[in-house]
Amino acid sequence: MPLTYIDIFAGAGGLSEGFLKNGYVPVAHVEMKAEACLTLKTRTCYYYLKNNGQIKEYNRYLRQEISREELYQLVPKELLDTVIQETMSAEGMESLFKRIDRLMQQQKVKKIDVLVGGPPCQAYSLVGRARSDSGMEGDPRNYLYQLYADVLEKYRPKMFVFENVLGLLSAKDGEYLRQMQERFRLAGYDVDYRILTASDYGVLQNRKRVILIGKQKDVDNVFVYPEIEKVGIEYEKYKVKDIFSDLCFLIPGEEKNVYKASATEYLKKTGIRTDEDVLTWHVSRPIQERDRKIYKHVISAWNEEVPRRLKYTDLPEELCTHNNRTAFLDRFKVVANDLHTSQTMVAHISKDGHYFIHPDIEQARSITVREAARIQSFPDNYYFEGGRTAAFLQIGNAVPPLMAAAIAKELKKQLEETKE
């Protein structure tokens, strides 16, 4: 029997993707945002059609030859029903449990192996606290881990994965983290955490996240945090340019969903691009002419013999329209072609692309949805539903699938050893 999991606070499914790649079967995805739920359903269609030799039907959808409704009709309804749109709350848990119970009955699943998920991070993030007059203290999102613990107590999975931002370590001087760990222990789990860096798992991004892993308490065995296998030194040769180089030249506001070149070695090795993929979401957002001039200054500074990051106050005065000249001085930043990793992808990219400027001065634009998805290690066949803003938000909030896959692989080893 394959291993099973439930994904809560699922977002667009980055964490889930890693578990799917390792052969786990999802019993339920729980997510509050409508666009992300549609993305999860479309990804469910991808796996079903691919596994049943009908990937051409999925690609017809990506080419806009059939509608989303027609795509969903090709897939059993009970699979699409595993995606539950729900804003998790204490009042709604009983109803949610009933829906998950029904899914388990339909799938003839008696036991959940793993619970995965990461509550919205704004209440813990350093930026969120900096922008809040109260430092996010009292924000109800600080306590969403209580609902996570409720799910643990209800379904008693053998292990769990809880993901969040580095700010969790310092929020309220670490008190939230201590409360969280204690709550999970009360639920019957040994728990520990590590800071994982996405680039250690093949992601060309300097993204660090707190990953708590828990396991059912066992009086006979001391819990040891799993050693998540890192990629080898052969990955050190890859640069950010390996993400961009096969995609077409664009000016701001332009869209070209065709590949201009063969996949790079990096894209092939990681499976981000395959021979059967249909390119989508290579569309750049329109920008004001003033911003485009700023982009060119920022790119030019990085392209100097000694590359430098331009601060906002370094720009020509006629281009500086913000009154705030003391904070967020790095608000314009190029995604450097020649580095091994990009800066951390964040949800703010849904509002503007100033922090993610494409490295080509001739294009002088922010990165596209597809380029952002690749930085996060989403495969090209991963389609994000909703408009451009919704797609960027889903990507910025996601767990990189390659990192998720490394976690899922190690947990699978431990779970299968337990079965034996």
Q: Which helix (H) or strand (E) holds 290?
A: helix 289-302
Name beta bridge partners: 209.
196
**Cβ–Cβ under 8 Å, residues 195 and 210:** yes
Ramachandran angles phi, psi of 84, nearest 5°: -115, 115
How far apart CA 304 and CA 221 sit, in angstroms, is 57
Residue matched to tokens 């596994």: 51
Residue 171, C-beta contacts closer than 8 angstroms, at least 6 positions apart: 123, 124, 129, 136, 142, 177
Supply the residues annotated as catalytic. 121
| CA nearest neighbour of 403 among 165, 204, 242 | 204
Residue 309: partners with Cβ closer than 8 Å, 6 or more residues away:
301, 302, 330, 333
Does the CA dihedral 349-354-359-360 come out positive or negative?
positive
- Alpha carbons within 13 angstroms on the beta-carbon side of residue 331 total 19
